[in-house]
Structure 1
Amino acid sequence: MICRGAEHCCHRSYGSLCEVGEGDCNEDVDCAGSLVCGTNNCLKYHAVGGFWDESDDCCQPKCSIENPCVEGEGHCSGHNTCQQGLLCGASCIDTAYFSKKLFPAQVGFYNSTDKCCYRPCNEHYNRCGLNEEHCLNDEDCLDGYFCDKDANGRRFCADVNECDRDGKYYCGRNAVCENTIGSFNCNCTAGFSNFQAYEGCSDINECATDPCDGNECINFEGGFQCLCSEPNFKSCNSGKGCCDVDECELWRTRVSESNPCPDRSLPGCWNKKGSYRCADEVMFFNGGFLQRKTGDVIIWHFTDRMYLPVHDYYWGVEDAKVACREKGYTKANRTLNSYYGYRMTKYRMYHVKCSGSEANLFKCGVGQFNVLKTTANTAGVQCYN
């Protein structure tokens, strides 16, 4: 220790610069490095006695609990030696925190081991995001955030609810402002699209896409209404669509006892959109439609009120010829395993045994009628002349 309390022992001109706790000093320049000369503070470091008394001034760190430093000052020894909102720890010559433009005196006054007080959130070099602490003003936070303070005085960057401010005006009519972290979105309400800033969303003409399946469509702002053509269509989807009325299904399930196809020469009822078809007792199913040339063989069942398939057990070319002859064709190929997609587990005919000369399938031998099976194996034909 150079000085132990002698009056003005610390003196720059004499080359006796004092360290922490040494005194007596008169000016900051009497202290080494970044230390400063305190006031009546030596008894913090020493007991009364010798040259020490309560009026002695000792060198001390510039930053202390009693005299916390401002931004860019050091050497600090802890966060509590910096003013509120600042932290201790950045190198005093780190230009990432202390630019030469804002802190021109840093270089030359401090060395690389000196720690200075710095702002974790600073509009000039490190703007903070959500819940990051130690901002001093809104500019210290990223766009979309503001500097908030809780009941304990803690300052932090919080999300700006733009929808409570200008967002609702920016979104305009027929749009809902949705706040997000650091920003916001404008979402068009149902029935509207094509958002334009400050104007909002425009009406969608839903009728342009024929949502009513060929029925009358009435467009209005924010929605539309289908006027369905009864009795072939009925309103569905809360008035936003027209659903086909399956007259054949109503007859099959006995919801209606009005037979759509009372003519026994065309007993088969087959539904199609907006209507139905009355077809022959024996028809061919192909791709969802009834045909007379190619497809899986199906036969109308009067009691079940529906078409049931013919099983392909021992189904041969002679059997296929008979099925095709009924439709006016002289030649045929057979298909198996529900080749055209008609799959059921109840069969109108099982094990058909034709010689090839019969007028129709009912003239052939049949192992069983109206039989249940666990697999779908429908017989089919490809008719030609």
Structure 2
Amino acid sequence: MSDTSKPKEGPLARLIRETEVDTRLLGMLAALALIWVGFHVYGAVVNGFGAFLTPRNLWNLSVQTSSIAIMATGMVLVIVTRHIDLSVGSMLGFCAIVMGVLQVNILPQFLGLGHPMIWIIAVIVGVMVGGFIGAFQGALIAYGKIPAFIVTLGGLLVWRGAAFLVARGETISPVDSTFKLMGGGPFGAVGNTGSWIVGILGCVGVLGLIAMARRNRRIFHIRQRPAWAEATLAVVGCGAVIGATLLVNSYPWPKGIVRRYAAENNIEVPAEGLFISHGFAIPVLITIGVAIFMTILMSRTRFGRYVYAIGGNPEAAELAGINTRWMTVKIFGLMGMLTGLSAVVASARLGSATNALGTLDELYVIAAAVIGGTSLAGGIGTIYGAILGALVMQSLQTGMVLIGFDAAIQQVVVGSVLVLAVWLDILYRRNAK
């Protein structure tokens, strides 16, 4: 006699169970899809055309997300260990000003204008300045026993003021031409061929991760996923990579830049025009590289295990022999270095360094991490979740700009989404117990 009391599992529930996909990831992807489709349909109904789901807008969206996403990967570590960093926006502005002054006022006097080492030195100095500031704040928190909220709130004011003093309130421009490529634009992208190379490497990476997971399950005698479930993951993963590659390659250079480029390189432009693809933007590739590095750091190293251990129970972690104070310094130092790298992307995209650069970025970075599933109670958070959270935040901003919402409404929506994300996190953890 069969047991009819147990509810029958549906195909979707079985797919989620067998593929072992994080349900919170699916929820974020569904929310992102809803935002994209909603703004596109709204634009089509009100304005007569939908401007959101176009190659141009989605390409620009990916570039605009990069700066926040890079910092959000570091904010995950800070929040997981039950701290907060309110200074990242001001720190970004200070690092950008330092790099701008180096490129415009200092290095050309010693190396000569346009020297190929100028941008390299500027990037290294910017990242190291960010790392030093972060480590200094981490030391105050860890060894000075000052709450992170107070230290970084002070940093929010101090580094914004320091940026003003260094630049005397002036806009520093123009930045080095090679440095500027890291901000995107037609020349700050890898083109059609380079994008397909990235896409092929991405597919190889997806298949490699699935094969590695299968080998590890065999080594540790864990039940293997069904072949159809792994095939589904492979198809969806590679399909997403190929789809992204097709998308960025379908966005052409502006006609004026194409004509100028053709004239400079003696290229004959046909009557129907010359199509040159943007491809993946350099800041997007930087973000992908940071995401891969941070994921490996958090999931494959002792450092990552220590971060989650401290977030889960700081007292138990210290009793287990983890130097929690030194870990705090390293975590905030890493957050600072990522902020310096984000300053590279932000100032390169702007083509200059201004005192206002990074204003309110700390709120968007924290919101991205929280929306991505990082718990303010500590111990829970993922790198891919933070990047998706950054994409959600930027999608909301871009969509509201496209449909004509003013800045006041944008702030109301962003603040409301942040509160909603925290409330959903509380409900999720309560139901998980």
User: TM-score category by the smaller chain?
Assistant: under 0.3
* The structure with more strand, counted as a fraction of residues: 1
Structure showing greater radius of gyration is: 1
* The structure with more helix, counted as a fraction of residues: 2
Select the structure with the greater relative contact order (CA < 8 A; seq sep ≥ 6).
Answer: 2
Q: TM-score, normalised by structure 2?
A: 0.14
